[in-house]
Amino acid sequence: MADTRIEAVAQDRGAGREFNFSLEHFKAISTRIYDFAGIRLTEAKREMVYARLARRLRSLGIDSFDNYIRYLELEPAEWEHCTNALTTNVTAFYREPHHFDILAKHAAEADAMQTYRVWSAGCSSGEEPYTIAMCLAESRPEGRFEVVASDLDTQVIAHGREGIYPLESVMALTAERQKRFFLRGTGRNSGHARVRRELASHVEFLRVNLMDDRWPALGEFDAIFCRNVMIYFDKATQRRLVERYAGLLRPNGLFFAGHAESLLDSGHRFRLRGQTVYELVRGAAA
C-alpha cells in the first residue's frame, strides 16, 4: 500500500508537465553536473532543474529528457550550457560594499612599485571585476594593478568582456564614478553605458572551470574574490578549493567570501579580517 501511494505521488508531481522528468532523469543529470562543475543538486532542487532545463529542451527542439540525456552524451559541450542554465548569476556594482572598503585599504598599503593583482573567481557578467578595478584605480593612482575575471559560463564572460550595462545599474554609482569610468550610450545604445577603455584595459576575462585538475597559469594574487560560488559545492569540494586559493595568494593576501559562506574551518590557512573577509595566515601560502 505504501509503495502504491509513493507511486501515485510521483505521478502527481509530473502531472501537467510538458516533458516527463523522472527521478532517474534527475539523478543522471545531477550526478554529471557534480562531476563536471562540482555543483551539488539535492532532490529538493528537482523542480528547479526541470523548469530551467525544459527551456533548454525547447530551444534545442528536443522532445524528451531521454533524448536530452542522449544528446548530452553525444555533445559534451552541452554540459556547459546545462550548467549555465542551472546556476544563477545575480550581481551588481559594489555589491557588499564593505568588502571594497577593506580592499581599498589593503591595496593602498601594498608596495606601490609592485603590480597589485586580484582574481574575481565566478565573475558573472562583470560587475564584480569592474568594481574591483574602480576600487583599485582610486586606491592605486599610479595604475599598477591587474584584475583576472573568470567564470564557467562563456555567455556571461562575453558580456563582461563587452563591458556594456543598463544605465540604471550604472546610475547606482556616485556621479564621480559614472563620469570617470563609464561612457553613456547614444542613439541605438541609449539606455546603456560602456566601461571606459582605460579601466577595461586592467581587466582580463577568461573561462576557468574551478573543478578542473589544472587551472591556467594565473600567477600570484594579493586578493581573491570567490563570493556566492562555493555555496553550490559540498564541504569536501569547498575545502579543496580553499587550499588551492591559499596557494595562489601572496603573504598577507585577502580572500573575500559571500555573505552565506565561511572559511572558519580553515583556520590553519586563514584568519578573519572583517565580515566574510579572510587574511592568509603568515607562512601558510603553498
Torsion sign, CA atoms 153, 159, 162, 165: negative
Is residue 99 within 8 Å of residue 256, measured between CB atoms? yes
Annotated ligand binding at 91? The verdict is yes
| Dist. CA 220–CA 214, nearest whole Å | 15
Annotated ligand binding at 95? The verdict is yes
Q: Count Cα neighbours of 240 within 13 Å in the Cβ-side half-sphere.
A: 11
Annotated ligand binding at 252? The verdict is no
For the question of residue 213 being annotated catalytic, the response is no
Annotated ligand binding at 227? The verdict is yes
Annotated ligand binding at 198? The verdict is no
CB neighbours (10 Å) of residue 282?
9
Residue 268: Cβ-neighbour burial (10 angstroms; 0-12, 13-18, 19+): exposed
Annotated ligand binding at 3? The verdict is no
Per DSSP, 96 falls in state S
Annotated ligand binding at 209? The verdict is yes
Catalytic choice (13, 32, 52, 184): 52
Annotated ligand binding at 67? The verdict is no
Catalytic choice (46, 117, 151, 177): 151
Annotated ligand binding at 204? The verdict is no
Per DSSP, 134 falls in state H
For the question of residue 40 being annotated catalytic, the response is no
Residues with active-site annotation:
52, 151
Annotated binding site for S-adenosyl-L-methionine: 89, 91, 95, 128, 151, 209-210, 227-228
Binding-site annotation, residues: 89, 91, 95, 128, 151, 209-210, 227-228
